Structure 1
């Protein structure tokens, strides 16, 4: 952890109090995780979930990931090879084909990290080797996640709730969801997987009549060019940008922050990645 982050911890330590979040999914007890710490495979996972062609920037990002992790197996999950990673005892939720390509990636990130483990990264140019993050986990049985800190305030959850305020006040102890290594089948991944499926249950019927296309109903990072193109955007798509990933992953990391190790070398670049 960087000196600056250590200073933030010392100045304003966070202690999880379940009573503060009794009305949220953090109150649910996790069950079904492994009793003993599971080894973390030297696998770096990426996802390209649609039938749209990868841009030159994304292709360069993928090559950067491979170059940064020569000692790991870098796996790109696509629509063509997806079925080979679906475990028979853990089939995908039927919502999957109705999700936007962005939310398919969010769903896959949770599925792969819970059931397989390893490292996940968005397809962006790398600054460090996620293989090193995996090795830290395998050297430290007490840790569940190794990654970089948030590079900005976390995603809004539901306005001014306690959970939203606490995530934003303590963003410096939360890992970025864009690149990290994780131990599979922990209480954190079990709760993550359960909550994503609860949300999928809720949105399933709504997405059948309003599927997400590529971007869903909005994208906070790009202009709404092509908003009338149903292949790219659907303004009636019911799932907000952060609902299936950041709004689940970040609160769970707050709850289990004592199991997380932050190291700034694992930040991927955010420059010209699309």
Structure 2
């Protein structure tokens, strides 16, 4: 690149760094989502079994579409995005409000399974930024940010993506790099928030499973009120923890990460 724009190499390195972080968080979020779904199915069965053991009528199960929880206009039809949740769990205050944070992991899973194209998923992922950190990210398929985000969600190694910058005049490359940095930076933040929220949601179900494992077959006289209270008591600490996961707390973590690896972050937000 021309010597008149020496920071372009730093911008390129930083863009790859941000995109790689985002890709790693998405990969982990997709795994968390899969594990959450499997654990949810198990807990639903446990709840039904406990109700039967207590001679109670079977609890209702509510179906929640993860993508619609994020965007009511979502038109994706896939079993991958549907969660069947016992209403005993749904009724716990704050639980359903956190389901939208599973959307990025579910979206990555849809791409992995071939249900959704990387381009469409990239658009879905950028819409997630608005309700999470209040910023809009606009990408166009074919532009620098679009290529990067499409590669990120498609699972392509970011360092291997052809940015197409070598043949571009320095000042134009600078503009494209800065624009892409401004889009990928908030995407990294929102994706990390999603991952951390997903972990807490899974933790809440693990707590419920442990309790149900303990009382199942123990011969303890149970009422519906007691069961609901036990489940709520297990879930509530994680719900409280999710309220502490926000842009402020996550940015503190990410800034420490950048500091520790000596990242060039001069233009992340400018």
> Structure 1-normalised TM-score?
0.29
Higher percent of residues as helix: 2
Higher percent of residues as strand: 1
Please tell me whether Structure 1 or Structure 2 has the larger radius of gyration of its CA atoms. Answer: 2
> Structure 2-normalised TM-score?
0.30
